[in-house]
Amino acid sequence: LECLTSIDFGSDSTTRIERTCLDETQQKSYLNGLSDPGEGTLGFNVDIENASHLKLIEWAQEKKEGIQFYLGASDGTAPPTVTTGTVTLPTTRTWWAFTGGVSTPAFTFEADALVGGTVTLQRSSVVVMTPKT
């Protein structure tokens, strides 16, 4: 995806499992449960000549799931390589990787501005950050 203007991974939430005994009279007690991956957004200024914008809108309209995302930091410029379906991330750049889906494309029209676009990002995994070495 090229020329995104914003990326929001969303915040994970964790369920709480109550473990309060029946004879407790002061307060409840809990254990941490499973993590629920967050819902965020991908923002961009719509450019109909940018193939990645058109693909993102298409995926969002189809509610595409199972997309592997790899976001490279500005501390390097080396792109990932793909060999027979395996993605290799260069160690000379910090990366964030996760799996998710996109849906619900929305567009904004304002005076003296480009047409804005956002799609909902629903992660199905944690975000793994790999610092450059």
Mean pLDDT taken over the chain: 96
Average pLDDT of 96-107?
96
CA-derived radius of gyration, the chain? 20
pLDDT tens-place string over residues 42-97:
999 999 999 999 999 999 999 999 999 999 999 999 999 999 989 999 999 999 99
- Contact at 8 Å (CB) between 9 and 98? yes
Distance of alpha carbon 2 from its chain centroid, rounded? 15
pLDDT at 17: 96
Task: Assess if CATH 3.10.450 describes domain 4-130.
Answer: no
Average pLDDT of 25-35?
95
What is the C-alpha separation between 95 and 129, in angstroms, rounded? 6
pLDDT at 105: 94
Q: Give strand ranges (E) for 38-90.
A: 39-45, 67-72, 81-83, 86-88
